[in-house]
Structure 1
Amino acid sequence: MAGKDDILTRPAIDGALAELPDWRYRLGGLVTVYKCPTSAAALELIAAVGRIAEQQNHHPDLDWRYNRVFVRYTSHDAGSEVTQRDVRAASEAAQAAAEAGAVAEPGLYRTVEVGIDTTDPEEISDVWRVALGYRKGRSGDLEDPYGRGPNVWFQATETPNPNRIHLDVHRSQAESEPTIEKTAATGALMDRDHAPKWVVVTDSQGNRLCLCTEAGHEPNL
């Protein structure tokens, strides 16, 4: 069982990922997508990852979409952060994927959060938590205990935007630039002041979203 002392620092995570080219860091977890030759091969890969999970007593979040398998490892008992167990499991899963003839497509793994501008997060967070059936997350945000819905976080500000709700779309920095350029080509207003951490996108009607990367998202040590 992992604890706070087992949480890896970002330099340690980056060092581990240098040996795990299939994987990316994302909001307290290691993520990837494997494209298998067939849907049957995808099921076989899921079974192989399941066997690894049982052997290690460390279970990932899995999502099967025809011939693609979306995988995320995090250590929930360490506050939903990355530990050496996640690195070890990701390494073995990568080996199983290679044996199954799967190709890694980590750029397909995107994470969406809902951000809400508010002058007082505590005043409203319980409304959202109860209504959604969520729980408190790793950074004071709200998370689906079953990992199905997007996280909700509250942006404390004395000057809330007229459109208080926006989306944060998280991609890996390695794959983010093409999406940023394609979004800019739609005519949206692009605020790059905080790049590469995030780029604020505003459409012609004033609605916002942020294109985010792992830059600046440090483990909660």
Structure 2
Amino acid sequence: MNNQDVLDKQQISDYLKDLPHWREVPGAIAAVFHAKTSAMAIELVNEIASAAELDQHHPDVDWRYNKVFVTSTSHDAGGQVTTRDIALAAKISERAEALGVAAHTELIGVVEIAIDTDDQEAISSQWAAGLGYKIASDGSLVDPNHRLPAIWFQHTTTPNPNRLHLDIWGAYSDSQKILDELQKQQAELDHESAPSFVVATDRQGNRFCICTEKDR
């Protein structure tokens, strides 16, 4: 892996302008394709596998009836986005369009679990052991099979009484609809860190963050 292949956030943003099916998520780029039939979705999965074999670069693919969820990252670059991910994304989009399978960016999403702590070292290995996770280079915990939500530790000297919260990642272009719905449901919204993230608090004091790729 050539370090020059790793893309910074501005480079990712620039590349994605030419890849309208794809959005940035933590450490990866992602797309969701919605086929007319399950058989067509399977055909797209086969096309993705063929493209991946040609490139020798393999995305995570989740087939759910007539929807195909695709996430691409470069594990040999420490879980970062590289030029190989961009090249593969372009080929996947081309094959989806050739099959007549539509992309639905509003379905792109990632959930992470955040834990407030004033001593990450004291607890991270226990969570890793319980979940069978690996400790990543940045100290977060990741599922080695890339199926379950990642866990990261938010360092604070004054942990919130409710120490766990969810980070719900989606495209900035689709985030306002979610925030409008939360407003309708009378959730308390803290926009101080928007558009990077908005903190939502429910009626019982539980928190979750609506996170986007914007201004990160």
TM-score between the two structures when normalised by the length of structure 1: 0.95
**Which residue number corresponds to residue 130 of structure 2?**
131
**Which residue number corresponds to residue 179 of structure 2?**
180
**Which residue number corresponds to residue 205 of structure 1?**
204
**Which residue number corresponds to residue 195 of structure 1?**
194
C-alpha contact (below 8 Å) 2:5/2:84 kept by paired residues: no
Gaps of 5+ in 1: none
TM-score between the two structures when normalised by the length of structure 2: 0.97
C-alpha contact (below 8 Å) 2:112/2:149 kept by paired residues: yes
| Count of matched residue pairs | 216
> Separation in 2 of the partners of 1:191 and 1:82?
30
The offset of 1:139, in angstroms, is 3.0
How well do the aligned residues superpose, as a CA RMSD in angstroms?
A: 1.0
**Which residue number corresponds to residue 151 of structure 2?**
152
**Which residue number corresponds to residue 63 of structure 2?**
64
Is the counterpart of residue 45 in structure 1 residue 60 in structure 2? no
- Structure with bigger RCO (C-alpha 8 Å, 6+ apart): 1
Is the counterpart of residue 109 in structure 1 residue 105 in structure 2? no
**Which residue number corresponds to residue 15 of structure 1?**
14
Is the counterpart of residue 168 in structure 1 residue 180 in structure 2? no
Runs of 4+ in structure 1 displaced over 3 angstroms? none
> Separation in 2 of the partners of 1:89 and 1:38?
24
Identity of aligned residues (%): 44
CA-to-partner distance for each residue in 1:150-189, whole Å, 9 max, x for gaps? 0011110000000001101001111111001101111111
CA-to-partner distance for each residue in 1:93-124, whole Å, 9 max, x for gaps? 00000011111002201100111000011110
